[in-house]
Structure 1
Amino acid sequence: MTTTAESASRLVRTERQGRVGIVTIDRPERKNALNLQVKQELVEAFQAFEADAQVACVVLTGAGGYFVAGTDIVEMSDMRPTDHVLLDTDKVFRVLKGLSKPVIAAVEGYALGGGCELALACDIVIAAEGASFGQPEIRVGIMPGAGGTQRVLRAAGSYKTLLWTLTGERIPASAFHAANLVSDLVADGKALERALAVATQIADAPPLAVKAIREVVRFGGDASLDAGLALERRAFERLFDSEDQKEGMRAFMEKRKPQFKGR
């Protein structure tokens, strides 16, 4: 059981809104920078929602008008290569990638360095028009290490990736949107609202179809077109063995709302 003191010292808050789990990074004095405590609490939050059968979709956001300012440079400055291995500093990214439930990033302010990589590790990114992204690691003598080169490369190509990572400049959300790295742009202050609306819509969708779509998109991205089409077709066919397929089509013909059960 969490004590009042432990709760007050936590840097990540969780709550549920219907079937949507909300994870909020709340470290205002450092603009939500990712230190080891934040990373561990994010792992715990994601794992708790993964285990909660009542949660079908997760929204990740930051408090105070910011997403994440980056990884905590003060904490990281004296680390050696073995420290990263022993402290498992990229565990949060692996856990996030391995979740069976969709995760939506709601980005206000900025998402820089590890914060940009955290957003890009999510399934969907909703960003405010005034938000900015960036991989400024080169300015402190290092480089992105949790997807900042590889995810950007696969969406935006090598020319944009090299421009952004070699200069470390901040990129407006509109440029990230044009480069297919942001799913949707909304007015400032509305990212969380939009993310929750999308998450609620996904949470109401048939779970088996949601899982199948995520799997074929993830695996298909690194496959040839023919292989991707084959993956898609097999997943499509398998869904015709589900009760949700029967219920969804029956409800459509009967002009009523379907009751999906994930079976």
Structure 2
Amino acid sequence: MALVNTIVGALKSAAACRYAVPTSSSLLQRHNRLALGNNYNGGSAFYSNITVEKKGKKNNVGFIQLNRPKALNALCDALMKELQTALSDFSKDEEVGCVVLTGSNKAFAAGADIKEMQPREFAEVYKGDFLGFWNSISLFKKPIIAAVNGYALGGGCEIAMMCDIIYAGEKAKFGQPEILLGTIPGGGGTQRLTQAVGKSKAMEMVLTGDQISAQEALQFGLVANVYPVEELVDKVMEKAEKIASMSQIATGMAKEAVNSSYEMTLAEGIHLERRLFHSTFATILKLAINSIGSCNMGIINAKLITCKQYIRNVPLLDLKTCARIMRTAPTCFYVK
């Protein structure tokens, strides 16, 4: 309880977020950044509450870090709006095949900004678009990974669960402590947590405000793996670069198929999966099969199959050469 009071105190004492008023200069900079498209590498200068850059050996991983350390990365409206903007930019960037979302070693995000929420009344939040920005994470079509160190509480736990994969540092803590403030989760916590850890554990966490450790989160399936604090970001970047090297169309389809399992019956989910699988045969993969069908085992490097080639069904790619050159490539499609 003392720990929760400390966190609540930090959130209440944090300065409220404020929206930056764009000057003509900043508008011009943003216009130039958008115009640069794939060549844009960075972005911290355009944000007050997050840092944004492109990382990886091939510059194909979007990297977003929540940056309100004094408030333990409390999720104010301005931060969430900036996060929405960054994700929108990465969505349009054809070089970016995966995004990593992280915080600091002390806190991924300790919850929503309590000071910002306190003066709001029922009519305001009910009629307005309160928490509307939060959907940008769950609606993001490219794979997004949460790298969680420190506290992921309340809204912080919720936005981590909106991501496709969660990796945790060994000192990470997860929880939905809203009940201690006389409220309940409002960003999907009761739903996604139940799907991740089961009804009984989710009910215990929501009704008591108790937190779980990184190892417990791994045991319950909330996170995919746990790493030492100082190694977390590097390990996550390795996974992100691997995912980003795959075909973006294929990873998008895979993400859609897996996520549909939470909202469909088994029969409906299998039907969707099969239709998505079938659709790949109208793409460059169909050309691959035709090109190397006479081989006993042909190999095509997935990194050579781009979105444009998928969509436009370009027939000029020399797939036999690709198969021969990339025969030992670890990331590949095998076609009989």
Same fold (TM over 0.5): yes
Q: 1:2 aligns with which of 1, 26, 34?
A: 26
Structure 1 residues 118-159: Cα deviation after superposition (integer angstroms, max 9, x where no partner): 100101101112111000000001000001100011122211
Contact 1:125 1:182 in 2 (8 A): yes
Task: Give the deviation of 1:9 after TM superposition.
Answer: 6.9
1:171 positional shift = 1.0
Tell me the alpha carbon deviations over residues 196-216 of structure 1, each in whole angstroms, 9 at most, x when there is no partner: 111111111122211111111
Provide Cα deviations, 1:202-243, integer angstroms capped at 9, x if missing partner: 111122211111111111222222222222122112112211
Decide which moves more: 58-67 or 248-257: 248-257
| Cα offset, 1:253, TM superposition | 4.1
SS of residue matched to 2:109: coil
1:206 is aligned with what amino acid?
Answer: S
3-state SS of 2:125 partner: helix
Aligned to 2:93: 52
**Which residue of structure 2 lines up, in the alignment, with residue 132 of structure 1?**
173
**Partner Cα separation in structure 2 for residue 50 and residue 9 of structure 1:** 18
SS where residue 237 of structure 1 aligns?
Answer: helix
Instruction: Report if the CA contact (8 A) 2:137-2:162 is conserved.
Output: yes
Match of 1:12?
A: 50
Q: For 1:134-213, what aligned pairs fall within 5 Å after superposition?
A: 134-213=175-254
Provide structure 1 residue ranges, at least 5 long, that are not aligned to the other structure.
Answer: none
Matched, 1:220 2:244: no
State the TM-score, normalized to the length of structure 2: 0.72
Larger radius of gyration, structure 1 or 2? Answer: 2
SS at match of 1:63: coil
1:261 pairs with 2:302: no
Amino acid at match of 1:114: G
Q: Which has the higher contact order (CA 8 A, sep 6+)?
A: 1
Contact 1:244 1:261 in 2 (8 A): no
1:36 aligns with 2:77: yes
Farther-moved stretch of structure 1 (200-209 vs 217-226): 217-226
The corresponding residue for 1:111 is: 152
RMSD of aligned Cα (Å) = 2.4
Contact 1:113 1:137 in 2 (8 A): yes
Identity in percent:
34
Q: Deviations over 1:87-116 (max 9, x none)?
A: 633223211111111110000011000000
8 Å CA contact 1:220–1:231 kept in 2: the answer is: no
Query: TM-score scaled by structure 1?
Result: 0.91
1:239 counterpart SS class: helix
Aligned length: 262
The Cα offsets for residues 36-89 of structure 1, whole Å up to 9 and x where unpaired, read as 211111111111111222211111011353200111111111211233356633
Gaps (5+ residues) in structure 2? 1-24, 30-43, 311-336
- Cα displacement (A) at 1:7: 3.5
Q: Is the 8 A contact 1:15 1:23 kept in 2?
A: yes
Task: Please tell me whether the aligned partners of residues 23 and 59 of structure 1 are also in contact (alpha carbons under 8 angstroms).
Answer: yes
Match of 1:97 among 138, 141, 152: 138
Residues 8 and 200 (structure 1 numbering): CA distance in 2 closer, same or farther, change over 3 Å?
A: closer
Q: Which is further off, 16-25 or 213-222?
A: 213-222
- Residue 104 of structure 2 contacts residue 149 of structure 2 at CA under 8 Å; is this kept in 1? no
| Alignment-mate amino acid for residue 150 of structure 1 | Q
Contact 2:100 2:146 in 1 (8 A): yes
